[in-house]
Amino acid sequence: MGGVEGERSAGGRGEINPGYSETFRKNYKIKLLLNFMKSLKPSMRENKRYLLVEGKVEDIEKAILDFIGVLGMSKAGLGWIKKGKSSAVISVNREAVNHIRASFAVWPEKISVVRVSGTLKSLREKTR
């Protein structure tokens, strides 16, 4: 068939013309797969809460891991949004907020949750 990049071969089975580079073929296959994947409904997505935490930032992950373990930490879905010297903004699963607070309470050094918010925008507005 013609020389247009991305054109399928005469077989019509979704195969790419063999004259194209390997990188192009891989990217084309990924694009085909992404077209078939559906996005999750909002009700099925994981609900996150954003925590403004003050204290020793290096110990946040250790405190959570020691208290709720590896499985609990994976269920919490800990994510780092912003790290500072003495404070951090982290994201966790909505169901794990109480476990995270408890892990900070039993940790020997002082780590405290200043504020919990459902959106980053409201967290920024309330801390001003």
Mean pLDDT of the chain: 84
Count of other CB atoms within 10 angstroms of residue 49: 18
Nearest by Cα to 68 from 106, 100, 28: 100
Q: Could you tell me the two tokens for 22? A: 């390997």
Compute the average pLDDT of residues 14-22.
Answer: 65
Per-residue CA distances from 40 to 11, 33, 45, 46, 117 (Å):
34, 16, 6, 10, 23
Q: Where are the alpha helices (DSSP H) in 3-127?
A: 22-36, 60-76, 97-106, 120-126
Handedness of CA 42, 126, 79, 66 (dihedral sign): negative
Residue 19 vs residue 90, higher pLDDT? 90
Same domain, 31 and 51: no
Count: domains in the chain: 2
90 and 52 in one domain?
Answer: yes
DSSP 1: -
Provide the pLDDT for residue 37.
66
The boundaries of the domain holding residue 11 are: 1-37
Residues 50 and 106 reside in one and the same domain: yes
Residue 83 has pLDDT above 50, yes or no: yes
| Residues 74 and 107 reside in one and the same domain | yes
pLDDT in tens, 94-106: 999 999 999 999 9
pTM, two decimal places: 0.69
Provide mean pLDDT across the span 38-59: 90
What is the Cα–Cα distance from 22 to 84, expressed in whole angstroms?
43
| pLDDT tens sequence across 32-45 | 766 676 778 888 88
> What is the per-residue pLDDT for 17?
62
Q: What is the pLDDT of residue 1?
A: 47
Q: What is the pLDDT of residue 14?
A: 56
Tell how many helices (H) and how many strands (E) occur in the chain.
Answer: 4, 4
